[in-house]
Amino acid sequence: MAEAAVVYGLDGCDACGKARRWLDRFGPPYRFVDLARERPEPAALKAWAAALGGWGALVDRGGRAWAGLLPQRKHPDSDPEWTLLIREHPGILRHPVAVLADGRVAVGFTGGSYERLFGKARA
């Protein structure tokens, strides 16, 4: 069976756990990548940001990880600065990040987001 998606997140993240349980029950095959152990490459991060419409859609500025950053780190001005910041602090990403085989990227797990993303109905 072909891999339909790669889901990036943190093992202790509640939303990541919910997304994984939904995928286990209803979804297509997927692979989970724990960002605490395996950081995405800068090119992947740039592609995700582009697919989502910019870095602001990829980063959770309301989360604890963002709040814990030094003030001078909260204003990256370039793609290399963003990718370095995210690789150093993966907790600032909106979790989970789902990357589908067709290139679509989605962040978070709320309501019917995965039903829409994967084309499945809730059972």
CATH number of the domain where residue 15 is located: 3.40.30.10
18: burial class by Cβ within 10 Å (0-12, 13-18, 19+)? Answer: middle
- Asked, for residue 50, whether it belongs to a domain, the answer is yes
> Is 118 in contact with 27 (CB distance < 8 Å)?
yes
> Is 5 in contact with 93 (CB distance < 8 Å)?
no
- Asked, for residue 96, whether it belongs to a domain, the answer is yes
Total domains present in the chain: 1
- Asked, for residue 35, whether it belongs to a domain, the answer is yes
pTM of the model: 0.89
- Asked, for residue 123, whether it belongs to a domain, the answer is no
pLDDT, tens digit, 9 for 90 and up, residues 24-70: 998 789 999 999 999 999 999 999 999 999 999 999 999 999 999 99
3-state secondary structure of 8: strand
The residue length of the chain stands at 123
Residue 2 confidence (pLDDT): 54
